[in-house]
């Protein structure tokens, strides 16, 4: 397992190197300026399009603009908004939120460009099941237009994108979601993680059998409800803590450019570590530049590619600037990110050199050595905790010279519990010293967000965040299942889809096996691997073809300004838009 984790860290380090960050930020800035700040078009014209004032049942496609956005949002508004944000704040500090805002704003331009390109080159030969995405942009926009040698080259580039799409589908789009739900359900209700995995797989399988129309129908109902419920609860918490919010926002901006001091469960982070952490988590959450959302938007009924592009620009705003921000502020305002220790470790503990020369934990394993948790919580099998140690070099997991000394509560084989001590990180090989004996409950991802809501209103995290996790995860799983399906169709044809759906559902179960994931670093690796490989494959495609999107923007808004296009017409009833009846 240590070798596996080291390989994962090396791969992710290569994918998320400094050039990657500058390339992404540069792409967002370029598209923002080149498109004359398309973000503001998304927030104005995009809302009108979303309301159904341009919907036309005779246009090519399968679902209306609202359902297409809902299907795409059901893939982006997922556990990245609950668990991913908790990871960002938990290891990157308050400054990570500032960089999430920056990424969200720039992501609006990237999303508008990539979706517009996908709409220009989508395949609507099957009106009930349109196909689109980066693979068709390069295949039809480059291969078919140039012809000859360009066709196999373009197909191969599209195939590479589809392989990265499948990797991301199985990791961030599937396993990250399922594990977070299983973790928080186990934390609050003691439900075995494998049971949660099986239930999620059954629900997902039932929905994805129906294809994009059923996915759009389910998403159109589920997304507004789950977002509204979560936003209302978050706003309620912020109202209760309103006096602290202004100082908190000032701290977010200040610590974006300064190292965040360690304190409590937060082990400290440099400004660069906060930037990179915020950027990763925001990109994982809103998927700008990944090339996933264009697949869902390609099913929209419209004969104007730009129209769907500006609608897509709303995604990062809703996902990052609203939902992610709310999660982060709740975690920060309740002090959950740098929470105090549950209490001191009551037994003997020391960090000593083992037989192989590496540092290991020599400590009591009695469950009685752990401090009592605040009622009604108690230590149960599978609970993780940590103590804090200081090392000589900066840790890649924390961005500081502090590391975790991990432990897990396990069965003693006789109906009781005991402590199992984990391995120390590689940075401890040259020596480590315990900072103190404080024991911190290791809450990874969504469980940390749940605690934040509980600290504000006891019981709110248990019920609201668990329910939100289930809804968010189900919506994300069904959308990502469709994304992966489109990659399978491009690579192998429709005949391979049934087998793919079985494998997808099995992966949902496998990740919830006990001890499959034990730390926030391992959880973050799942997200970073999937996001990283897709960005590397997709960004060059949209950069190379972006001039066509810009030409389309200029032409569309020129015609709109001169009154040379039809519409808008009177907005249909909202219920008809939500259910897609306005285009039937």
Co-location of 280 and 361 in the same domain = no
Report the candidate in 102, 100, 524, 445 with the shortest Cα–Cα distance to residue 278. 100
Whose structure tokens read 């390339």?
23
Co-location of 380 and 332 in the same domain = no
Co-location of 496 and 385 in the same domain = no
Co-location of 422 and 514 in the same domain = no
> For the chain, what is the domain count?
2
pLDDT at res. 265: 73
pLDDT at res. 520: 57
Co-location of 61 and 96 in the same domain = yes
Q: What is the pLDDT of residues 289-327, one digit of tens each?
A: 888 889 889 988 888 999 999 999 999 898 888 888 998
Does a structural domain hold residue 570?
yes
Concatenating the DSSP letter of every residue in 394-426 gives: --TTTSSSEEEEEEEEEE-SSSSEEEEE-PPPG
Which residue(s) pair with 331 in the sheet? none
Q: Cα–Cα distance between 397 and 416 in angstroms, integer? A: 32
3-class SS string, 500-528? HHHHHHHHHHHCCCCCCCCCHHHHHHHHH
Co-location of 266 and 294 in the same domain = yes
548: helix, strand or coil? helix
Co-location of 66 and 120 in the same domain = yes
Interstrand relation of 402-411 and 417-421 (parallel, antiparallel or unpaired): antiparallel
Q: Cα–Cα distance between 311 and 437 in angstroms, integer? A: 52
Last residue of a domain, one of 436, 463, 481: 436
Does a structural domain hold residue 72?
yes
Co-location of 151 and 258 in the same domain = yes
Does a structural domain hold residue 19?
no
Co-location of 355 and 429 in the same domain = yes
Does a structural domain hold residue 243?
yes
Q: What is the pLDDT of residues 448-478, one digit of tens each?
A: 888 889 888 888 888 887 888 888 888 888 8
Q: Cα–Cα distance between 185 and 283 in angstroms, integer? A: 26
Q: Could you tell me which residue, 266 or 229, shows the higher pLDDT?
A: 229
Q: What is the pLDDT of residues 320-372, one digit of tens each?
A: 888 889 989 999 999 888 888 889 999 999 888 777 767 888 899 999 999 98
Sorted by sequence, the CB contacts under 8 Å of residue 177 that are 6+ apart come out as 78, 79, 472, 473, 476, 477, 480
Sorted by sequence, the CB contacts under 8 Å of residue 357 that are 6+ apart come out as none
Report the candidate in 226, 419, 243, 432 with the shortest Cα–Cα distance to residue 333. 243
Q: Which helix (H) or strand (E) holds 139?
A: none
Q: Is the pTM of this model over 0.75?
A: yes
Q: Could you tell me which residue, 408 or 465, shows the higher pLDDT?
A: 408
The burial class, CB within 10 Å (0-12 / 13-18 / 19+), for 560 is: middle
pLDDT at res. 547: 94
Whose structure tokens read 């789009």?
173
Strands (E), 63-186: none
3-class SS string, 342-377? CEECCCCEEEEECCCCCEEEEECCEHHHCCCCCCCC
Does a structural domain hold residue 46?
no
Q: Cα–Cα distance between 26 and 34 in angstroms, integer? A: 12
Last residue of a domain, one of 368, 401, 436: 436
Helices 193-208, 211-240: axis angle to 10 degrees equals: 130
Dihedral of alpha carbons 297, 303, 306, 307, sign: negative
pLDDT at res. 168: 87
Q: 51, 69 in Cβ contact below 8 A? A: no
pLDDT at res. 115: 95
Would you tell me how many other CB atoms lie within 10 Å of the CB of residue 279?
23
Q: Which helix (H) or strand (E) holds 390?
A: strand 384-391
Q: Cα–Cα distance between 64 and 48 in angstroms, integer? A: 13
pLDDT at res. 79: 66
Q: 251, 96 in Cβ contact below 8 A? A: no
Q: Is the peptide bond before 568 cis (omega within 30 degrees of 0)?
A: yes
Does a structural domain hold residue 4?
no
3-class SS string, 155-193? HHHHHHHHHHHHHHHHHHHHHHHHHHHHHHHHHHHCCCH
Does a structural domain hold residue 122?
yes
Co-location of 160 and 250 in the same domain = yes
Look at 352-356, 394-398, 435-439, 540-544 and tell me which has the smallest mean pLDDT.
394-398
Q: Cα–Cα distance between 339 and 102 in angstroms, integer? A: 27
Co-location of 173 and 261 in the same domain = yes
Q: 219, 67 in Cβ contact below 8 A? A: yes
Q: What is the pLDDT of residues 199-225, one digit of tens each?
A: 999 988 888 877 666 666 776 677 777
Does a structural domain hold residue 541?
yes
Q: Cα–Cα distance between 489 and 280 in angstroms, integer? A: 29
Q: What is the pLDDT of residues 58-101, one digit of tens each?
A: 888 888 888 888 878 877 776 667 777 887 888 788 888 898 89
440: helix, strand or coil? strand
| Res 13 pLDDT > 90 | no
Q: Cα–Cα distance between 274 and 255 in angstroms, integer? A: 9
Both tokens of 330, joined, read 């709740």
Q: Cα–Cα distance between 475 and 73 in angstroms, integer? A: 9
Q: Cα–Cα distance between 383 and 62 in angstroms, integer? A: 46
Would you tell me how many other CB atoms lie within 10 Å of the CB of residue 374?
12
Q: Which helix (H) or strand (E) holds 316?
A: helix 314-316
Q: Cα–Cα distance between 464 and 468 in angstroms, integer? A: 6
Widest pairwise Cα distance in the chain: 80
Interstrand relation of 432-434 and 349-353 (parallel, antiparallel or unpaired): unpaired
Q: What is the CATH number of the domain that holds 309?
A: 1.20.1740
Last residue of a domain, one of 436, 461, 483: 436
**Domain range enclosing 414:** 350-436
Half-sphere exposure of 221 (CA within 13 A, CB side): 7
Co-location of 185 and 161 in the same domain = yes
Residues 3-8, mean pLDDT to the nearest whole number: 70
Q: What is the pLDDT of residues 135-190, one digit of tens each?
A: 999 999 888 888 888 899 999 999 999 998 998 898 888 888 888 888 888 878 88
Whose structure tokens read 């599978």?
382
Report the candidate in 341, 422, 425, 360 with the shortest Cα–Cα distance to residue 391. 425
Mean pLDDT, the chain, whole residue set: 85
């Amino acid at each position: 397992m240590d070798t596996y984790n080291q390989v994962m860290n090396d791969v992710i380090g290569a994918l998320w190197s400094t050039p990657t960050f500058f390339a992404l930020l540069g792409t967002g800035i370029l598209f923002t300026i080149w498109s004359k700040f398309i973000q503001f078009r998304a927030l104005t014209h995009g809302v009108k399009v979303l309301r159904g004032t341009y919907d036309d049942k005779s246009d090519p496609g399968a679902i209306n603009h609202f359902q297409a956005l809902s299907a795409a949002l059901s893939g982006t508004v997922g556990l990245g908004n609950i668990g991913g944000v908790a990871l960002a704040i938990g290891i990157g500090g308050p400054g990570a939120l500032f960089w999430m805002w920056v990424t969200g704003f720039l992501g609006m331009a990237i999303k508008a460009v990539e979706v517009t390109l996908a709409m220009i080159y989508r395949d609507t030969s099957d009106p009930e099941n349109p196909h689109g995405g980066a693979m068709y942009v390069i295949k039809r926009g480059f291969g078919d237009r140039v012809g000859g040698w360009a066709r196999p080259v373009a197909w191969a580039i599209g195939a590479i994108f589809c392989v990265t799409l499948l990797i991301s589908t199985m990791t961030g789009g599937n396993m990250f979601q399922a594990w977070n739900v299983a973790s928080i359900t186990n934390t609050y209700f003691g439900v075995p993680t494998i049971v949660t995995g099986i239930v999620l797989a059954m629900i997902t399988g039932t929905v994805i059998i129906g294809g994009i129309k059923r996915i759009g129908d389910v998403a159109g109902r589920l997304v507004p409800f789950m977002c509204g419920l979560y936003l209302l609860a978050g706003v309620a918490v912020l109202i209760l803590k309103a006096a602290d919010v202004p100082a908190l926002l000032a701290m977010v901006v200040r610590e974006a450019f300064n190292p965040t001091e360690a304190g409590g469960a937060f082990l400290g982070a440099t400004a660069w570590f906060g930037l990179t952490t915020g950027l990763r988590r925001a990109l994982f959450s809103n998927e700008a530049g990944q090339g996933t959302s264009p697949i869902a938007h390609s099913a929209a009924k419209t004969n104007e590619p730009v129209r769907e592009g500006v609608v897509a620009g709303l995604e990062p705003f809703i996902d990052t600037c609203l939902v992610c921000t709310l999660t982060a502020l709740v975690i920060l305002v309740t002090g959950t990110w740098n929470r105090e220790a549950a209490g001191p470790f009551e037994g003997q503990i020391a960090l000593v050199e083992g037989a192989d020369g590496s540092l290991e934990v020599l400590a009591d394993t009695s469950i009685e050595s752990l401090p009592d948790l605040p009622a009604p919580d108690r230590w149960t099998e599978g609970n993780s905790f940590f103590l804090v140690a200081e090392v000589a070099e900066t840790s890649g997991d924390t961005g500081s010279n502090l590391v975790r000394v991990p432990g897990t509560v396990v069965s003693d084989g006789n109906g009781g519990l005991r402590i199992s001590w984990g391995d120390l990180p590689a940075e401890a090989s040259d020596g480590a010293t315990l900072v103190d004996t404080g024991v911190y409950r290791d809450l990874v991802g969504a469980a940390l967000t749940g605690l934040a809501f509980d600290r504000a209103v006891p019981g709110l995290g248990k019920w609201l965040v668990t329910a939100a996790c289930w809804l968010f995860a189900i919506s994300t799983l069904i959308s990502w299942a469709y994304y992966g399906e489109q990659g399978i169709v491009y690579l192998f044809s429709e005949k391979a889809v049934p087998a793919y759906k079985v494998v997808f559902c099995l992966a949902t179960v496998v990740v919830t096996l006990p001890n499959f994931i034990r730390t926030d670093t391992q959880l973050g690796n799942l997200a970073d691997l999937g996001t990283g490989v897709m960005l590397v494959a997709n960004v060059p495609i949209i950069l190379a073809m972006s001039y066509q999107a810009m030409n389309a923007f200029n032409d569309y808004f020129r015609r709109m300004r001169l009154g040379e296009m039809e519409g808008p017409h009177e907005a249909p009833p909202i219920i008809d838009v939500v259910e897609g009846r306005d285009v039937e």
